[in-house]
Amino acid sequence: MPLSLEVNTGLPATTQLLTDGGDVRIQLDGQSGLNQYGCPPYPDTGLVALGSSTASVISEQGFAAADHLRDRLLSRSACEPVASIYARELDRLRDELKQLCGIPDLSGVDVVFAASGTDAHLIAAQIIDHAVGAPLCAIMVEAAETGSGVAAALSGRHFSSRTALGALVPEAMPLAERTIVVKVVSIRLINGCPRPSEEVDAEIAMLASAALAQGQHVLLTLVDVSKTGLIAPSPACVAALYQAYPEQLTVLVDACQFRISPATLRAYLHCGYMVAITGSKFMTGPSFSGALLLPPVVTQRVHRIPATLLHYSAAGDWPPRWQGCGLNVIANVGLLLRWEAALTEMRAFYAMPAVQVGEFLQQFADAILHRLECDPLFQLLPGAQLDRSSLVMASGWDSLPTIFPFLLCRARYGNSRVPLNREETAAVYRRLQQDMSHEQDRLDGVAPAALRAQRFQLGQPVLCGSRDGVPVSALRLCVSARSVVSAMGPTGLGIAGVIAQAMAALDKITWLIRVA
């Protein structure tokens, strides 16, 4: 639980703190010892992390950094309120985050820390709703591509039964008397293929125009990148709407996957868009490390922090100039430690030359796409080009795919493939993370004990429509900042080794399909 203003004489262990300061998703299951993303609060060196679109297990270096910061807090808290230390440490992380992201010179950009990407959406919607004089209409893409709690957060409802600061609340109940209208747009068809960008943009523009005509202020969410690797609506569509209605429309970029380069982030902030990020997806920090970046055009409009955020945001989560705005002076130490671990990963990643990062990501994508397209037990979920040409002059490493969603199939006669249903896919996902070296079956020769013993974590199954009336889900194999460092750093596996690990994960999946 968050700590209060008074001087503290002790702190829980790092493993406990890493599971504090978030909603119920971060709580550990009593039997497995894992959170709802399948991760423990300590390193698991035997697990191959390929699921950064969902979450990653904290690394040894990330845990060491968090543990060291916890010890520093403990020594200082004997003579100083821990909430004061908390605010100062977050201000240090705020400055380093800006430096790493290449935006230290963008004056007026504020960084608000949040327990999760969902919390960042809630904070964004609440500050805009209380800053504008008109009713708010939020427009977002489907929850399957962004997050199950995002619609509730944007609407001004509790999206969990416990808030980031530990308050027990009725899930789905409004934070205040007035809620926010939310409009949801699908970006994939029932067969899992992406909707044409022109269709998505047209629907977004129609919804925005209708809301504006009714006197509503529009909060438009642009997702970059979604759970399955899409950008929607197009940056060009969003820019046209924003330029046409700069006073009646606010843009929130959902970059919670954080699969964007510093140049892209900088461009969004230059446009005057809010940007939500997390350190727990591509950057592979521990689950529940979010942040909301506010450009000057927004901070000039927002004059106070609404009381609806009392249970979601602490005073120290905001830059110093915001303190004294009515939030509780407490310390969410878990959030602080998780961001410390995330910045450890970011430092290593941003030390890699951007050009070489792009070259590795291209090699990885070529190898994985070829395997998924050629193996009869896989069906690649179609994607779309990551087009930000209207936003940035030159494409960077973030124009390359880093999330590879695919269906699992049973091979039938000829080239026909029959996808597994959602329950069967979920079963493979779970078994993939287990040491199955003890399994004895007729396919021992196909899957030797060494492969069966390996444990792999992919992105959790994501709903992607149906095939022949059967609801299906896609697994997601992801490359992450940690993968890049391992491929390019002096002490990692090297490019061939990182790709070989991903191929081994696909090998184990094929074995699991055959023995199911």
* Same domain assignment for residues 254 and 372: no
- With respect to residue 357, please indicate whether it lies within any of the assigned structural domains: yes
Give me the chain's average pLDDT, please. 94
Last residue of a domain, one of 347, 382, 400: 347
pLDDT in the model for residue 2: 73
Q: Is residue 49 part of a domain?
A: no
Token reading at 371:
């395997």
Q: 230 and 139 share a domain?
A: yes
Domain that holds residue 448: 352-515
Residues ≥6 apart with Cβ < 8 Å to 438? none
CATH number for the domain spanning 200: value is 3.40.640.10
Give the model confidence (pLDDT) of 497-513 as tens digits. 999 999 999 999 999 99
Please report the pLDDT score of residue 5 as a whole number: 44
When pLDDT is averaged across residues 158-186 and rounded to a whole number, the result is 95
- Say how far apart CA 342 and CA 154 lie, in whole Å: 26
Q: What is the pLDDT averaged over residues 174-182?
A: 93
The string over 308-330, giving b where at least 16 C-beta atoms fall within 10 Å of a residue's C-beta and e elsewhere, is bbbbbbbbbbbbeebbeeebbbb
Range 70-85 average pLDDT: 94
pTM for the complete prediction? 0.96
Task: Scan for tokens 């396919």, then name that residue.
Answer: 443
How far is 140 from 150, CA to CA, in rounded Å?
A: 9
Same domain, 289 and 391: no
Alpha-carbon span 169 to 161, nearest angstrom: 5
- Res 177: pLDDT: 86
Whether 281 shows a pLDDT value over 70: the answer reads: yes
* Domain presence at residue 465: yes
- pLDDT at site 3: 65
Residues 473 and 504 in one domain: yes
pLDDT tens for each residue of 222-253: 999 999 999 999 999 999 999 999 999 999 99
Residue at a domain's end among 347, 381, 404: 347
**Is there a single domain that holds both residue 88 and residue 187?**
yes
Q: Is residue 241 part of a domain?
A: yes
What CA–CA distance (Å, rounded) separates 152 from 148? 8
Beta bridge partners of 182: 138
**Within this chain, do residues 376 and 334 fall inside the same structural domain, yes or no?**
no
**Where a domain ends, among 301, 331, 347?**
347
Same domain, 391 and 504: yes
Please check the confidence at residue 183 and state whether its pLDDT lies above 80.
yes
For residues 300 and 31, give the distance between their C-alpha atoms in angstroms, rounded to a whole number. Answer: 49
422 shares its domain with 327: no
Pick from 178-182, 255-259, 444-448: least confident: 444-448
Query: Is residue 441 very low, low, confident or very high in pLDDT (cuts 50, 70, 90)?
Result: low
Q: Are 179 and 314 found together in one domain?
A: yes
Q: Decide: residue 304, CB within 10 A, 0-12 exposed, 13-18 middle, 19+ buried.
A: exposed
**Is residue 306 in a domain?**
yes
Q: Are residues 470 and 324 in the same domain?
A: no
Q: Residue 415's pLDDT is what?
A: 65
Q: Which residues contact 281 (CB under 8 A, 6 or more apart)?
A: 52, 53, 54, 55, 256, 257, 258, 259, 480
Q: Within a domain: residue 489? A: yes
Q: Is 70 a domain residue?
A: no
- Whether the Cβ atoms of residue 102 and residue 263 lie closer than 8 Å to each other: yes
Q: Looking at 8-12, 59-63, 88-92, which range is the least confident one?
A: 8-12
**CB-based contact 463:143 (threshold 8 Å):** no
Helix, coil or strand: residue 486: helix
Judgement on whether residues 311 and 415 belong to the same structural domain of the protein: no
Res. 440 pLDDT band, cuts 50 70 90? low
Q: How far apart are CA 510 and CA 505, in angstroms?
A: 9
- Domains of the chain: total: 2
- Quote the pLDDT of residue 83: 94
At residue 12, the pLDDT reads 94
Do both 295 and 428 map to the same domain? no
Cross-strand bridge partners of residue 278: 290
Give me the numbers of helices (H) and strands (E) for the chain, helices first please.
Answer: 15, 14
* DSSP symbols for 327-346: ----B-HHHHHHHHHHHHHH
Residue 76 included in any domain: no
Q: For the purposes of burial, counting CB atoms within 10 Å of the CB of 395, is it exposed (0-12), middle (13-18) or buried (19 or more)? A: middle
Distance from C-alpha of 491 to C-alpha of 335, rounded to nearest angstrom: 29
